[in-house]
């Protein structure tokens, strides 16, 4: 009987350890429009993230789709359950025209990542516009 009690305790402990809960990433602004940015200018923006789960959400890394998005201040970020935080990024407008870039947010969620879309338009430098006309 004593062995059965110990066995049940061990099984219950293992099951409860596996059900501690999962982090759930909720991107509050999954589509960010930065509007028009002058050529060679910079524009800061924030990705707002909420942890809708019941355990800590760990943002491990950011992976921008181009070198025009800079994350100088990012370090490993932990967001407690039901809390919100934000990540500061900078768009550097080196190329002119319409831009749709992506930032992959790598985390400890079930899928492992989430995507944020960044839209902007970079004005053509006046000198180039005059030369083309």
**Residue 62 pLDDT:** 96
Q: Tell me the mean pLDDT in the region 59-73.
A: 92
**Residue 9 pLDDT:** 52
> What domain count does the chain have?
1
As a whole number of angstroms, the distance between CA 65 and CA 32 comes to: 14
Domain membership flag for residue 11: no
Domain membership flag for residue 72: yes
Residue 69: which domain range?
Answer: 21-126
Domain membership flag for residue 12: no
Domain membership flag for residue 7: no
Are the CB atoms for 116 and 63 separated by under 8 Å? Answer: no
Domain membership flag for residue 1: no
Angstrom distances, CA of residue 128 to CA of 39, 43, 95, 97, 125: 11, 22, 12, 13, 6
**Residue 130 pLDDT:** 58
Residue 74 contacts by C-beta under 8 Å, 6 or more apart in sequence?
62, 87, 88, 89
Domain membership flag for residue 16: no
Map residue 18 onto helix, strand or coil: helix
* Alpha carbon of residue 95 to chain centroid: 24
21-35, 78-92, 113-127: which range is least confident on average? 113-127
What pairs with residue 107 in β-bridges?
59
pTM of the full structure: 0.78
Provide the CATH number for the domain around residue 83.
2.60.40.10
Domain membership flag for residue 122: yes
Domain membership flag for residue 31: yes
């Amino acid at each position: 009987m004593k062995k059965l009690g110990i066995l049940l305790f061990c099984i219950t402990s293992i099951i409860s350890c596996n059900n501690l809960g999962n982090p759930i990433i909720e991107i509050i602004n999954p589509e960010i429009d930065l509007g028009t940015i002058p050529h060679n200018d910079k524009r800061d923006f924030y990705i707002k993230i909420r942890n809708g789960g019941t355990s800590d959400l760990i943002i491990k890394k950011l992976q921008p789709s181009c070198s025009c998005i800079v994350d100088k201040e990012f370090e490993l970020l932990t967001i407690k359950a039901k809390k919100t935080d934000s990540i500061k990024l900078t768009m550097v407008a080196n190329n002119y025209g319409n831009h749709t870039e992506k930032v992959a947010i790598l985390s400890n969620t079930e899928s492992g990542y989430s995507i944020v879309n960044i839209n902007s338009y970079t004005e053509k430098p006046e000198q180039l516009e005059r030369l083309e006309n």
